[in-house]
């Protein structure tokens, strides 16, 4: 039995509240258990220098934690004067994951920046950021669609993410912080609505893992991601059907 009474394949309660920011083109507050992340999508009508003149858009992400999002206070990266490796790794992951379901050509020469600010952390902040950012991105694209005619709807599929891990030889879905710190194997999985993998990042620093453990973890993740995508559909409401519609 898990400390919070969940079954091994059970997600924590998930809430996605849209429109939490009055300025951003898209915004959500996503809560997965006690992990809370504000995701905003900001649209700019220009692309970074390396993308100029290609007629394509760009999706990028930034990630940060409030200093007291965690048990003990962390120093701000702005005060340290540089980003940690962990932050850089996470924001690269979020950006890459979201780009996998965006038709950059269809988006046109504009940049959408996803800001993921962790208000409170209890494990799974990077996966929760991806799941929440996807909704913020859709909201921003839908807002754009009111004033812009896209040749094709630029979001090609749903996308969500969850963590899985092995504790005392049991595979568990959606680890909270306590579980995460005890896990021998830790894996973050990003999948699309049609059940394909976008990112699989498994690490067995404490204890290497076998192919069958890997498979068990991937199955758990698949189930969890399916349920997260249902929550995304609900959050998007009547616009839910546009994703992947391509028109």
* Site of interaction with a second copy (CB under 8 A): 21-24, 27, 34, 38, 40, 42, 44, 62, 64, 66-73, 76-89, 91-92, 96-97, 99-100, 113, 115, 117, 119-120, 157, 187, 191-192, 194-211, 214, 218
Backbone phi, then psi, for 232, in 5-degree steps?
-65, -45
Number of Cα atoms under 13 Å in the Cβ half of residue 72 = 0
Residues belonging to the binding site are 86, 124-126
Is there a contact between 102 and 154 (Cβ–Cβ < 8 Å)?
yes
The β-bridge partners of 173 are: 164
- Nearest approach, Cβ of 2 to a second copy (angstroms)? 19
Residue closer to a second copy (CB basis): 1 or 78: 78
Residue closer to a second copy (CB basis): 80 or 170: 80
Residue closer to a second copy (CB basis): 7 or 201: 201
User: Which helix (H) or strand (E) is 80 found in, with range?
Assistant: helix 77-80
Q: Which of 233, 130, 113 is nearest to 191 (CA)?
A: 130
Q: Which of 56, 26, 232 is nearest to 152 (CA)?
A: 56
- Nearest approach, Cβ of 87 to a second copy (angstroms)? 8
Residue closer to a second copy (CB basis): 54 or 201: 201
Number of Cβ atoms within 10 Å of the Cβ of 91: 21
- Nearest approach, Cβ of 122 to a second copy (angstroms)? 8
- Nearest approach, Cβ of 37 to a second copy (angstroms)? 11
């Amino acid at each position: 039995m898990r400390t919070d009474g969940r079954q091994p394949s059970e997600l924590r309660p998930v809430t996605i509240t849209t429109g939490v920011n009055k300025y951003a083109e898209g915004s959500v507050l996503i809560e997965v258990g006690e992990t809370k992340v504000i995701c905003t999508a900001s649209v700019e009508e220009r692309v970074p220098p390396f993308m100029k003149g290609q007629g394509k858009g760009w999706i990028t992400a930034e990630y940060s934690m409030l200093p007291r999002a965690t048990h003990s206070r962390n120093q701000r990266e702005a005060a340290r004067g540089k980003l940690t490796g962990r932050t850089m790794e996470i924001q690269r992951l979020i950006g890459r994951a979201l780009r996998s379901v965006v038709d950059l050509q269809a988006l046109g020469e504009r940049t959408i920046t996803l800001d993921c600010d962790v208000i409170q952390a209890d494990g799974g902040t990077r996966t929760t950021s991806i799941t929440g950012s996807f909704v913020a991105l859709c909201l921003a694209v839908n807002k754009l669609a009111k004033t812009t005619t896209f040749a094709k709807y630029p979001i090609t599929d749903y996308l969500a993410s969850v963590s899985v891990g092995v504790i005392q030889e049991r595979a568990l879905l959606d680890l909270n912080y306590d579980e995460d710190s005890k896990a021998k194997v830790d894996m973050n999985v990003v999948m699309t609505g049609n059940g394909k993998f976008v990112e699989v990042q498994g690490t067995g620093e404490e204890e290497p893992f076998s192919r069958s453990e890997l498979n068990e973890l991937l199955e758990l993740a698949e189930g969890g991601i399916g349920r997260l995508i249902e929550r995304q559909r609900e959050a998007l409401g009547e616009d839910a059907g546009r994703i992947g519609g391509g028109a």
